[in-house]
Each structure stands twice: as structure tokens, then as C-alpha cells.
Structure 1
């Protein structure tokens, strides 16, 4: 949009101020009036101006020549005043056809939202109007042009300086015209036609309006000029927060802000209630070279080991990148300038894969890290490595980076396979499923991760010739091979493996979280011994084969390293791996690749089916992460878990009494326990106290199966109350049981039912300390599918999750409901 600024007037009423200065250049708070206009209009998006001049035109020309906006301005000099409409006729060629333009009396002071004014013209409801007139409320209506509006805010009457004005709604002498207005102006026969006197009367009924409620004042007399100065200054003092005032004047904005601010306040208060000190683990990672994916995953998993062991909430990680130049061989894209960003990106990507990651710190200066470490180390209950000392020589620290973490991790994996806890973020799983369904369906997806490093242990690289034969072997089958290249070779022109059944997905190589989601969702993953395989190894849901796992020419896959660091012997697979996760110690020859791949595909086909489960999902179900294998439970129709043989009166008495005992315990017993902790620890082993401890800990026992037990008439009589009747009935009938949960309740049951307990299972894995009474092995629930176990009941002990666990046992492990007891 273009604009015409009318600035040719004499300003006679403002004399003597205008004897030597044109009215359009009078200063307002030290700034020329014309400059104020230009600033406001340019901010609104107008970049082309036409300014007409007459009186003291050289001063105006000098002002424009020195203005920073001179490139936007065209001047037109009028030897004789043409009238406001006459100026339009003379400069008709300045304006663009079929485009609206603005006309402004530049000798008035106006502050308003010009963007809103322009928008009101384009968005006007009555489209056959030819102009939009700005209006304002005036204190002197007899000196202004007064308008009357209809119900649609269209001008129906206009009175120029009436003696008896009907309202105070006045013309601000600022207009937006449609180009078609020239058809009317050309028909005006008066000499020096005026917009207000000659044009506006012709447009009644076709003038849209916009009311300026900010500031509009005529600078016609010395008094009004002084008043304009005061109002201009006052406006900016009172309107420092104009945007906020306008924003919050809209009710829904204010309501949203109020709700949002209350929500933030509540979250901050909740965070303050959680004490940070001694509830987190600090893991320190010193790197002088760029870390591999394998090393980083190891670090995160070892952090999870320690977090569980000490029952901590989160683990924070520090990555220290040193000033020494990185290895030029490790990655050709890494330079001393961007290596910190590279490590930070790796750290962030891997943090998405572990739900208990807390804060991340990346230092590129060792002294900066030392200052930080001195200040925060006291806030952490445990620091890993345990004997970390920043005063040690850097070479000693760095020697522990790779094998040190690996050895510790795989030693723990021997004891607790649930440490394979990598979980791709949900959004990446959704992306992976969508990509596979859009680009692979209805074929079966198999990934091949290529190792093609040319500087380190090249004997471990993918044998491209033999892998190409494998792809060709399956070319007539329903498989599509998704190829992940090495990071250094992304988007190269040559493709090492080709075929109609091959697709390259370079984006997944850039994002570890996306790659890990793909590894989880495809039917099978094929590797050679490679660091990125850790993204599959650390996830219990993936299915993979790793070939060429043992290679005597490579130190990291030598028999000594595999035995001493990974605790693996010939033909072993990783501790905790399923039957769908296999290590192949032979080289990746075609015959080896073919035989083991076919064998694994047949196994998957027999047990699970080759097609990914989400192939049957709709797009909405994929986006909402619905799992169809979950069986919907009608909670309304579930039979009451309370034994119907138990009288209601006694049942209420039992729980009311227990609530009272819990109250006494919290108010009186717990303070005493804190004071005499050591003494109570000794007493706890006494049989009589253990019976009381069992009673306090076990809230309720009920059967999903109707169990033939008759409670005693007196519910509490020595040890013969309801709970013990049930427990001893199981014992006396010599039932074999599995305990789900190795917590305090599961531990309390062990001394009573140890002859009946086959084993314990727990979904998250448990570290049993030296003082634990449980002398049985603790396994993950997977063992229910993997072994034929002879048992009569599974007793679920975790509180508040009973229905959820029972549902998983029935759905995932096909346990009949008549074999489930719930505490």
C-alpha cells in the first residue's frame, strides 16, 4: 500500500510558530511531526510515500534530504494549492491500479494501530464501500467534520464544522481509498476540489469507518499545540505496556493467562517440595576423543544400574570435552570448533532413550568443570566413578572410559537382565511406524546396519559382497531391506548394496532415537559387530542377529576382551537376551548369513508372525500408540475381590482397626523407630514381632478364584485371623506358588511360605541386599513363557497396581485367572 501525506498548508492559525517552519515540521517532544508520521506508517508496512509541498517547500525538501527515510519518499511541489482532491487527480499515476492507498492530513497528530486500521479496510463487512474513514471522539465537535453512522458503521450523514453538532464522533482526516475512487473525482467540476467538501458527500452510504481510541488531535492553534505536546508525552508514559493492556482486555486471553500462570505457580511449588539433595546420581564422563554410540549407551545403562541400587530418582550426566584436537580418523566432519556441539547432540539423543535421565552438562574446558564440580558434589548421594578424582593425571582417567564402563555394565547384566531398559520415545515410535507403513507395507521390514569405517579395526567391516548376495537371495520374497550406512558415508552417490528390495534411510542414522525406534518396530535387525548395535542390544523388545561378533584381528572383539569385559564365551549371547536376539561368532559369509537369517525368520514366523502388529492399525491408532494386543477389561463386571464368606461387619471392623493402627504407627511408632533404629532391627527377626510386622504390611488378601476358607468367628484372636487362615491354608494344602514382587510384602511372606515358593518374579528387577530374607531367585515375568513351571498360584504383592499386573499376566503370559491371588 502507498500513502499520500498532505503537507502543503500555510498553518496560519499557528503563527508566529509557522512563520519560519511549515506546520508539518513543528516539533513534538523534540521530533518533527512529519517524522512521527513516517515512523508509524513504515512500522505498519507502508514503504512508498508521496508528500505534496507548497508553503516553505524548501524546508520540507531539506528535511527529506537528511531523513533516513528519504529513499521511501517522492516529493511533489504545487505552485498553487490544488485542493486535497486536486492533489489526488494530479498524482493519479503514482498509485497502483486495483490497489487501495492511504491519504493523510499530515498536519495533525495521530497515534494509533495503523496495521489494525489497514486490516479493517481489507476485512470490511460491506464490500461495496469505496473508502474507510478514521474517526475519533473530539471535545470540540463544532470545529470538526461530524458523522452519523448506520447499524453497520457506514457513514449515512456528514456535517463539516456544524454549529449544532449531533455527536462528538469526528472525521480524523485519514482515509484509505479504493482505486475506483478516481472515477468519482474525475467527475468533480470544481476548481481545487476538497475531499471533505466535494468528495465525501458523493460517497454517503459507501464509507466504511474505523474509530481510533488512542490519540488524535488537531494542531491548529498555539493552545492545541501545547496540549498535543502534553498528551503525546503522557501517552507514552501511560502506555509502556499498551500491548499487554490490549491483550488482556480480551476475556479469553485473560482467562488463559490466569489459568496458565496458576498452573505454572502450582508446578513450581510442587517442584520446591521435592528435595533435590541426595536424591540423584552424578555420572562423570571424561572424553578426549569423540565417544562411540556403544560407549555412551554403556554409560547411561551403568547410571541406571546405580540409580536402582541406591533407590535414586534421577541421574545427571557431565560430559567433559577437552581442548586437545579430536582424532581426525574418528569422524571427518568433526573439527575443534564444533566437537562440543557434536558431543552435546549425542548426549541429548541418548538421553531421550532413558526415562530417568535428569540434567546434562557439557564442558569444553576442564578448569570450568572443576569449579562446577567443587560446588555441586555435596548435593549428590553417589558419584560415578566412585573413586573419581579430578586431581589425577588425565591419562589415568581416560584409560577407564571404554572398557571400564563395559566391564561394570555386563557384570551387572549377569545378575539383572531388566537393565536392558532402553525405550525409544513415543513420538519416534509413531514416526517409525508411519514410515514403515507408508514405504514398506505390505512387505516385511528387515534392517541391515553397515559398518564401513576405513581407519579403525577394518576387519570388522561389513563384507559387502556377501551381504549383496543375501539381499539378492531374497529378491523374490516379500522382504524389504532397510539400509543404515555409516555416519561418515551418508548421502554419498555410490550405494554399497543395491536392489529392488532395498531402501536407504539416512535420516535414521542422524537421530539415534529414531533409529532405536525403527530397530524396535521392524521384524528383524541384521548387524556385524558394531557400536550402534547397542541401540538394539539394550532394548529387550528388539529382534536381532549380530554376525562376525568374534574377530581375533580386532582388539575390541578378541576372545580376551569378550571374556574379561563382556563375560562372554564362545557362542554365548548377551546376558538377558531372548531367543530372538542372537550373536553369531562366525564371519559374515553368504552361507552363514543365509542360514541364520532363515532360521530366525522361521522362528519369528512360528511364534509371533512376520508382519509387524501395527500393519493392522489405522493411522489414528498409530498416532495414539494403541496396542491391540491389550485385552479390554470390563471393570464393572469384575467379580468383587472381597471374599463373600467374610461377614460385612467383621470386614469393616478389620479395616477400621487397621486404619487406627496405621495412625498410631505414623504418630507414635515411627518417631520411636527412628530413635531406636538399631534395636528394632534386631527385634524384627523375632518370630512374634515378625507376625505383627506381617499383619501391618499386608493390607488385604482376596482371591479371584473362590477359595474354600472359613474365617473364625472372632476375627482377631492371637494368630488365627483371616489373613493367616488363607496363608496357612495354602501352606497346609502344599500348594506351589510364585510370588510377584520382591518388595516388603514379598519379603515378609518368605519365612512363612518358603517351602511353597518356587521363585520370585518382578517386572523392573530388584537388587536384593545382604539383609534380605528372600533366598530365592528373582526373575522377569518373561520366564513364565520361557520355562514350563509347575505352580498352583501366582500371588501379586505390589500395592495399588494389582489389577494392572493381573491384566498383564492374563494378556501377555496367558495365565488363567483362577491361578492368580491378589494381596
Structure 2
């Protein structure tokens, strides 16, 4: 049983039983739920103290002393958003509920601020020319363009760091000295950053051949350096470890509305007509987890794009899994994407 499940109690539970639960589970909160696990309220040690000051007996049902309007979080909230709510309302815990108000988790300030260190290497691709963002990229590599007050690549780096990752490689080609000057060796963030320079562009997969293969001992994250996302990297890692395979590719659902009526026919005879149908596809989101064996299979100076590399794995009968992203995701490839990022950044 997950620790948060031990905090679930019935509304008829007494304060005395709730105190015993608080002591046993040691997360300083119990969540009062109905039989369908829908959240009715919460009870903290502060609520207990206030009830005792009002001389309520320990036999009092928790429904009479609980907070019936607790703050809650949704499953897709980022760590930063949860921490912002906790800070604003001075909370130590935040129940996580689904669309039906059922409890599916519990975030605690202690866990959020004490993430375990993760030794998986992270490879950030920052060598592109950013042609579609000219003239902004005439004198600045695209990963250093600022969204809000920070470069795109720095926002990516900090999201990985907040999840406990500390081993970084950055690929460079266009204006590499600017990227090196900004990030240095990573000591400013308390992490290690090393650079993989491509004298000639090798594609998103070819740069893997320049990594120090003897140091790639765990699944490697690979991510394009022009993405904004609130993806939970720890969930991605857990998925990759659970579903054994050579690689995991993150995918994003893409909808395309045909702007006309579509006709289905059999020869000259019309069988059906669908007005402006919507087609749905999964598209490559530019984020991968690769097995060490796959990384080491790429030779130095090999030019290959990541989709081609993964197609080779599939053809060889090795599993390549996909991980759908439902969190925020934006590929900053065009000027309108860059402008959209500026508008949406505050909500992240």
C-alpha cells in the first residue's frame, strides 16, 4: 500500500483514531473520503489542536472537525505549480484528485523538496541553426533565446535538475561559444555539464556517437533544446524501466481537421459523406529515453536522425515503446511558436 493510502479514513472515524493515524503514517494529514474514495475533507494536527482547544472530546467524528474545503491539486500539475500553491496558502500537503474528486495521491512539501538524486545522463541537443526563427537567431543560437527572463535551454536544464538529474551533456554546432559561456561546467546549478561538439551536423541520432560510451551506464535522456514542457521526467523513467525496450519515444496527439466534406465511394457510387472530419495522429515529441546498448551502437561521425535510428531497432525486432505526453508541450520551431511561448510562459 502506498503511504498516502494509509491516510484515508472514514468520516465516522473518531479524532482519537485520526490522531493514531497521524502518528503512524507521519505525513501530518489524514484525508476523509467516502466509499468511492471521493474527498470529503482533510484533518491535520492543527485541526486536532483547534478542536481540543474548543474542548471537543477525542470521540468526536472527524466529519465534525475536518476542513471540508481543502486545497487540492490535479494530476497534470507540475512540481512548480504545486509548490506555488503550497507557498501561497502555507500548506505542507496537497491531496491530488481526479475529475470525479477521487483521491489518487498526496503531494508533501518534504517529498517535493527532497527529491532523490538520479544518475541517468541527460543529452540536450543544442546545435541547430534555428533558420525559421531568423532574424532572432542571426546573432544568438536558438536554445539561448529567452522565454520570459531565461533561455529556453536553461528552462529545460532546470526542470531536469528539479527532478534530481545532475549529469548533463550538451551538443553544440552553431555558435557553440555562446552556449558554453552561458552554462559553463554546470557548477552554477550544482551539476556537471560537458559539451559534445559537432564539426558538421550529424543529425539528432548521430551525435550519440560522440558521447563517451564508457560512461553511459544507465538509460540516457535525449531532448531537443527548443522544447517547453511540464513533462514529469520521473514518470517517463519509471515507464521506460517498467516496459523493457531499446528506447522510449515521447509522443504527442495531433489533431487535423479536414476543412471539406470527405466522400467515401465505391467506384462512381457514394457510400458516405463526412463533413470536416477530424483525424488524430501521434507525433514525435522530440524527447527520448535510450538504452545504453542502443547509445553505444552508434559509431562516431555517423550521420543519422533519431527516427531513422529507431526504425532500425524496430526492423531488428527490438522493442521501441511510446510514452504519450498529456502535459504542456510546445516545440519552438517557428516565430509564432516563440511568440506563443512568451504569452503562455506565465501559466507554467
Q: TM-score, normalised by structure 2?
A: 0.54
1:128-153 deviations in Å (ceiling 9; x for gaps): x21111111235799xxxxxxxxxxx
Aligned-residue offset at 1:91: 1.1
Q: Which residue of 1 aligns with 2:293?
A: 180
Higher strand proportion, which one? 2
Q: SS in structure 1 opposite 2:140?
A: coil
Q: SS in structure 2 opposite 1:230?
A: helix
Residues 1:121 and 2:231 aligned together: no
Alpha carbons of structure 1 residues 94 and 40: separation in structure 2 relative to 1, 3 Å: farther
Hey, what's the Cα distance between the residues in 1 that align with 2:190 and 2:162?
Answer: 15
> Aligned ranges for residues 17-416 of structure 1 at < 5 Å?
17-65=136-184, 68-69=188-189, 71-93=191-213, 95-97=215-217, 99-124=218-243, 127=244, 129-139=245-255, 167-182=280-295, 184-186=297-299, 191-196=302-307, 198-204=308-314, 206-234=319-347, 236=348
On the 8 A contact 1:86/1:193 being kept in 2, the answer is yes
Hey, what's the Cα distance between the residues in 2 that align with 1:173 and 1:17?
Answer: 22
Aligned-residue offset at 1:29: 1.3
Hey, what's the Cα distance between the residues in 1 that align with 2:280 and 2:242?
Answer: 27
Aligned-residue offset at 1:208: 1.5
Higher helix proportion, which one? 1
On the 8 A contact 1:64/1:70 being kept in 2, the answer is no
Alpha carbons of structure 1 residues 70 and 45: separation in structure 2 relative to 1, 3 Å: closer
Give RMSD over aligned pairs: 2.6
Aligned-residue offset at 1:168: 2.7
Q: SS in structure 2 opposite 1:17?
A: coil
Q: SS in structure 2 opposite 1:167?
A: strand
Hey, what's the Cα distance between the residues in 2 that align with 1:107 and 1:175?
Answer: 14
On the 8 A contact 1:141/1:168 being kept in 2, the answer is no
Aligned-residue offset at 1:60: 0.5
1:254-301 deviations in Å (ceiling 9; x for gaps): xxxxxxxxxxxxxxxxxxxxxxxxxxxxxxxxxxxxxxxxxxxxxxxx
Give ranges in structure 1 of 5+ residues lacking alignment.
143-164, 237-823
Residues 1:2 and 2:121 aligned together: yes
Aligned-residue offset at 1:105: 0.7
Q: Greater RCO between the two (CA within 8 Å, min separation 6)?
A: 2
On the 8 A contact 1:24/1:34 being kept in 2, the answer is yes
> Aligned ranges for residues 604-619 of structure 1 at < 5 Å?
none
Q: Which residue of 1 aligns with 2:265?
A: none
Aligned-residue offset at 1:183: 6.1
Alpha carbons of structure 1 residues 225 and 210: separation in structure 2 relative to 1, 3 Å: same
Q: SS in structure 2 opposite 1:231?
A: helix
On the 8 A contact 1:133/1:208 being kept in 2, the answer is yes
Hey, what's the Cα distance between the residues in 2 that align with 1:141 and 1:116?
Answer: 31
Aligned-residue offset at 1:102: 0.8
Alpha carbons of structure 1 residues 183 and 136: separation in structure 2 relative to 1, 3 Å: same
On the 8 A contact 2:124/2:171 being kept in 1, the answer is yes
Largest Rg, 1 or 2: 1
Hey, what's the Cα distance between the residues in 1 that align with 2:160 and 2:297?
Answer: 27
On the 8 A contact 2:228/2:332 being kept in 1, the answer is yes
> Aligned ranges for residues 565-604 of structure 1 at < 5 Å?
none
Give the count of matched residue pairs. Answer: 206
Q: SS in structure 2 opposite 1:10?
A: coil
